[in-house]
Amino acid sequence: MARGSTNRPNWLAGAFSLVWLIIISVPILSMIIWSLTTERAFREAGPLALPTEWTLGNVVNVIERGFLQYYWNTGIVTVGSIVLSLSLALPAAYAIVRSKNWLATTSFRMFLLGLAIPAQAVIIPLYLIVTEMGLYDTLIAVILPTVAFTLPLAILILSGALRDVPRDVYEAMTLDGAGTFRILISGVIPVARGSIAAVGIFIGLQAWNNFIFPLIFIRSEDKKVVTLGLREFQQEFAVDIPGLMMGVLLSAVPVFLLYLFARRWLIAGLAGLGGK
């Protein structure tokens, strides 16, 4: 019988995992508890004490403050950003992978350069461009910059995924008389669907949680998104913490569900496993 066992439990790793679980669980549990208490009870008991009054009235408070409209606007921005980004990133990645000329290589390097430019550094030029185009105070003014800043990483991930597509797939479809568009739709997308899903999830998360672009480009109440709507709980001399926590909790539900049902594709796509 061999000495040592590969099945011996790793107590140190388990201890670190437990500590990490506690660290990430405490803020989430606190947010849930605070969102279910009244504002008066929260101020009397303080943030560290268990609430003495439980209520679901904060849900009504959130709805009355226009969060349904904010959800709708955020959904439009998120879906629009995903569709437009994938519509641009997928053909660009395909051209970069399949083309061997200097233009494709230079374009790819220019896209990679976009990863090093933070949105805050170009927010003033973006504001001037949006204003001159007559898009200020519209949801399109939020969608277009979101697409621009998610496009470099989307092209980077999709280019890596398309390079893993067997060359036999391209050659076989070319011999069958398929054109570029048919190869892309019928051959490439089914094989790289994992990476495409991962990129779509990444873009969706960026669009849903975006704050700086709505803050700069949106003014009307009926155009606000969820991240701007959370500011409604900030009063002149105080902050409605329970209402704010309920708004944060409800805004996080779609993100949590998206990750829960698509985490396999997200991890596989970012790991470069393509459609496997």
pLDDT digits (tens, 9 = 90+) for 163-177: 777 777 777 777 777
The answer to whether residues 25 and 77 belong to one domain is: no
Q: How many domains does the chain have?
A: 2
Find the domain containing 199 and state its range: 66-270
Name the band, by pLDDT with cuts 50, 70 and 90, for residue 274.
very low
- Tell me, yes or no, whether 61 lies in a domain: no
The answer to whether residues 208 and 72 belong to one domain is: yes
The answer to whether residues 128 and 165 belong to one domain is: yes
Whole-number pLDDT of residue 107:
81
The answer to whether residues 17 and 139 belong to one domain is: no
The answer to whether residues 20 and 85 belong to one domain is: no
The answer to whether residues 17 and 120 belong to one domain is: no
The answer to whether residues 17 and 88 belong to one domain is: no
pLDDT in tens, 77-125: 999 999 999 999 988 888 888 777 778 778 888 888 888 888 888 899 9
The answer to whether residues 137 and 251 belong to one domain is: yes
Is it the case that residue 140 has pLDDT exceeding 90? yes
Query: Across the chain, what does the average pLDDT equal?
Result: 82
Share above pLDDT 70 across residues of the chain, in percent, rounded to a whole number: 91
- Tell me, yes or no, whether 195 lies in a domain: yes
Burial of 45 (0-12, 13-18, 19+ CB in 10 A): middle
The answer to whether residues 115 and 30 belong to one domain is: no
- Tell me, yes or no, whether 54 lies in a domain: no
Compute the average pLDDT of residues 144-154.
Answer: 91
The answer to whether residues 40 and 112 belong to one domain is: no
* Torsion, Cα of 108, 111, 113, 116 (10° steps): -140
pLDDT in tens, 178-204: 777 777 777 777 777 878 888 888 899
Give the whole-angstrom CA distance, residue 45 versus residue 34: 11
Name the band, by pLDDT with cuts 50, 70 and 90, for residue 139.
very high
- Tell me, yes or no, whether 117 lies in a domain: yes
The answer to whether residues 164 and 212 belong to one domain is: yes
pLDDT in tens, 23-61: 888 888 888 888 888 878 777 777 777 777 788 888 888
Give the whole-angstrom CA distance, residue 246 versus residue 130: 33
- Tell me, yes or no, whether 3 lies in a domain: no
Q: How far is CA 113 from CA 18, 103, 154, 157, in A?
A: 40, 15, 13, 15
- Tell me, yes or no, whether 276 lies in a domain: no
- Tell me, yes or no, whether 172 lies in a domain: yes
The answer to whether residues 21 and 148 belong to one domain is: no
Instruction: Tally Cβ neighbours within 10 Å of residue 37.
Output: 24
- Tell me, yes or no, whether 202 lies in a domain: yes
Whole-number pLDDT of residue 124:
92
Name the band, by pLDDT with cuts 50, 70 and 90, for residue 275.
very low
Whole-number pLDDT of residue 165:
73
Compute the average pLDDT of residues 137-166.
Answer: 88
Q: What is the CATH number of the domain that holds 257?
A: 1.10.3720.10
Whether the CB-CB separation of 235 and 156 falls below 8 Å is answered with no
Instruction: Tally Cβ neighbours within 10 Å of residue 257.
Output: 10
Burial of 102 (0-12, 13-18, 19+ CB in 10 A): exposed
Whether the CB-CB separation of 108 and 153 falls below 8 Å is answered with no
